[in-house]
Structure 1
Amino acid sequence: MSFNVKLSGVMPALVTPFGADDKIDFKAFENLLTHFREAGVTGWVPNGSTGEYFSQSTEERRQVLQFVKDFARGDEVLIAGTNAPATREVIEQTAMAEEIGYDNVLLAPPFYTRPTQEELIRHYETVLAEVDVNIVLYSYPLKDGADISFELMDHFADNPRVIAIKESSGVLQCAIDIASRYEGKIQLVSGSDDIALDFMFWGAESWICGPSNCMAKACCELDRLYRAGELASAKDLMKKLHRAMNILESGKFVQKIKFGAELQGLNVGECRAPLGPLTDAEKAEFAAAMKPILAM
């Protein structure tokens, strides 16, 4: 187990490509990952909500984790999404990831069940006790129906295996509060893509990024510009990214991400039900917003 993992740079929350037969298309997956590596990503986050883990069988999740692990280089960080609605299943998924070779997992509150903070603390404690991995907490209350509170983060602040939190509430004040309260203890990870530059300013050195599936070069360039101190250029690029990211957040997120990949010749197929296809109008709107980004 590698404790005190330092997260940095852009790590795609990976889509899962599906073929016309609705099976995972691993050739398309390889093309996608190769494109991301050339763009400059620093790691891989498979089996998150952008990867449609909720529509996959356990065997498919295993195949995705194994494929990404086999593709990854030693200097690229691996973080497996192992979410599920029940603690028992989270432990099973996390143990599977650990067996394949993942030291780190991304864990939101169990969806649908809306646990109290006391129940949620017990949930994470149980996972840590059962499986020897590091946890990146994932706060996305709009999707999961549960907050990750300061009470919870206070509880885990001195636990070296709770290494970070991906903050996706969309409320910048939350990111500022986390950066202020847990500096040197829990790393802040950018998870609100349309304010990613603000996150960087407040100390987020890493970005687990769904939009990087369709704008990897631009996302990596934003990260590079900020690190180089080229703030005016970073601000200009964020303006260019902002419209496309807003459209992504307006609904049909994964469908638009996959369509955006397709615009670059990276065919990753359709989403699985219940996610349905985009309308022609939705495609046209997103394609227009992507045009200046793809022209970079």
Structure 2
Amino acid sequence: MNVTVRWEGVYPALLTPFTADDQVDLPLFEKNLYAQLEAGVHGFIIGGSLGEASTLLNHEKMAMLPSALAVCAGKVPVLINIAEQATRQAIACAQEAEANGADGLMLLPPMRYPADARETVTFFKSVAKGTSLPIMIYNNPYDYKIMTTVAMFEELAELPNIQAVKESTRDLTNVTRMRNAFGDRFKLMGGVDTLALEALLLGCDGWVGGLVDAFPNETVAIYELAKAGQIAEALDIYRWFMPLLELDIHPKLVQYIKLAAQATGIGSEHVRAPRLPLVGAEREQVLSIIETALAKRPALTSVN
């Protein structure tokens, strides 16, 4: 039976760990999940951009689903990312995810083709009509060059299973723009680590995180403190976190965050080609950011 997706709280965009011989490392995947559950995250997303969706085979993505469902044991929902290019393939992937027990979907536009508004809305609607699972639209024009506008969401609001938005426009005014247009019709999840606290304070319901894969306790603490109105305490952790959060907005975010997860003992730096592990001065620079943060890791404040 599916777990209800409430679209609130911290949802890690999960890393896909690989072995040295380029196989999905399910034991390490599960170790990371357990660490995040212990920290109190509220859901998981398999196979997103940070999960190296562009190089994952569909059967690999689907192989992680039963592992995640077994680890979560109904405690939190497990979502799969849909990033296929052809509408027919996206529908088929959504239906396969549903048949195999996924609780919800994150849905990207067809990125390799710069679809116009009519095409993008038709794509989203077609996938939504092909499944009963709840859907979060990933709105990231910065990286994927397609903006899902308020006018487009007015059309998408007709479909009840399109329920949430991963807000990654990097324009914080869009949070208010969406609230003004739709009230609570769509749940809003901040999707940019370096704007996460600001997005929560502007009214986002949750945070789809990247550095949470390495630092789950700190991520959950910021969310809980912000929602409890303990802004000063949240800000203290956020300021410490910022040099790490900036690793999320670089083209090599996968390598950077995997290196951080390795440093905290819940990941490895193995990536899938054409990505390559970091070397030389670049690796030393990123390690320095991580090690400096670990040396100054703050004591976490409890929610009053």
TM-score between both structures, scaled by the size of structure 2: 0.92
Question: What is the Cα deviation at residue 164 of structure 1?
Answer: 0.5
* Residue equivalent to 2:104: 104
Matched, 1:23 2:32: no
Q: Secondary structure of 2:208's partner?
A: strand
Q: Does the 8 A contact of 2:3 with 2:74 survive in 1?
A: no
Residue-by-residue CA offset, 1:36-84 (whole Å, 9 max, x unaligned) = 1111111111111111122122211210122212222323022210211
* Residue equivalent to 1:59: 59
* Residue equivalent to 1:221: 221
Q: Secondary structure of 1:224's partner?
A: helix
Identity of aligned residues (%): 27
Q: Secondary structure of 2:137's partner?
A: strand
* Residue equivalent to 2:72: 72
Q: Does the 8 A contact of 1:133 with 1:161 survive in 2?
A: yes
Question: What is the Cα deviation at residue 3 of structure 1?
Answer: 11
Matched, 1:271 2:271: yes
Measure, in 1, the Cα distance between the counterparts of 2:125 and 2:158: 13
* Residue equivalent to 1:81: 81
Measure, in 1, the Cα distance between the counterparts of 2:251 and 2:144: 16
Match runs of 1:160-175 below 5 Å: 160-175=160-175
Matched, 1:247 2:247: yes
* Residue equivalent to 1:139: 139
Q: Which is worse superposed, 48-57 or 189-198?
A: 48-57
Q: Aligned partner of 2:245: which letter?
A: M
Distance 1:90 1:131, change over 3 A: same
The 4+ residue runs of structure 1 with deviation greater than 6 A are 1-4
Measure, in 1, the Cα distance between the counterparts of 2:3 and 2:24: 33
Distance 1:99 1:2, change over 3 A: closer
Question: What is the Cα deviation at residue 4 of structure 1?
Answer: 8.3
Matched, 1:47 2:80: no
Residue-by-residue CA offset, 1:87-130 (whole Å, 9 max, x unaligned) = 11111111111011123110111111111110111111111222
* Residue equivalent to 2:94: 94
**Structure 2: where are the runs of 5+ without partners?**
299-304
Question: What is the Cα deviation at residue 260 of structure 1?
Answer: 0.2
Question: What is the Cα deviation at residue 292 of structure 1?
Answer: 5.4
Q: Aligned partner of 1:140: which letter?
A: N
Match runs of 1:145-224 below 5 Å: 145-224=145-224
Q: Does the 8 A contact of 2:85 with 2:112 survive in 1?
A: yes
Measure, in 2, the Cα distance between the counterparts of 1:216 and 1:286: 19
Q: Which is worse superposed, 86-95 or 73-82?
A: 73-82
Q: Aligned partner of 1:185: which letter?
A: R
Residue-by-residue CA offset, 1:186-233 (whole Å, 9 max, x unaligned) = 111110110111111111121111111112111111011112221111
How many residues in Structure 1 have an aligned counterpart in Structure 2? 296
Q: Secondary structure of 1:32's partner?
A: helix
Measure, in 1, the Cα distance between the counterparts of 2:128 and 2:266: 37
Distance 1:152 1:2, change over 3 A: farther
Residue-by-residue CA offset, 1:126-158 (whole Å, 9 max, x unaligned) = 112222221100011122221111121111224
Measure, in 2, the Cα distance between the counterparts of 1:222 and 1:98: 32
Measure, in 2, the Cα distance between the counterparts of 1:173 and 1:79: 27
* Residue equivalent to 1:33: 33
Question: What is the Cα deviation at residue 86 of structure 1?
Answer: 1.1
* Residue equivalent to 1:258: 258
Distance 1:140 1:19, change over 3 A: same
**Structure 1: where are the runs of 5+ without partners?**
none
Q: Does the 8 A contact of 1:3 with 1:161 survive in 2?
A: no
* Residue equivalent to 2:301: none
TM-score between both structures, scaled by the size of structure 1: 0.94
Distance 1:292 1:221, change over 3 A: farther
Question: What is the Cα deviation at residue 239 of structure 1?
Answer: 1.2
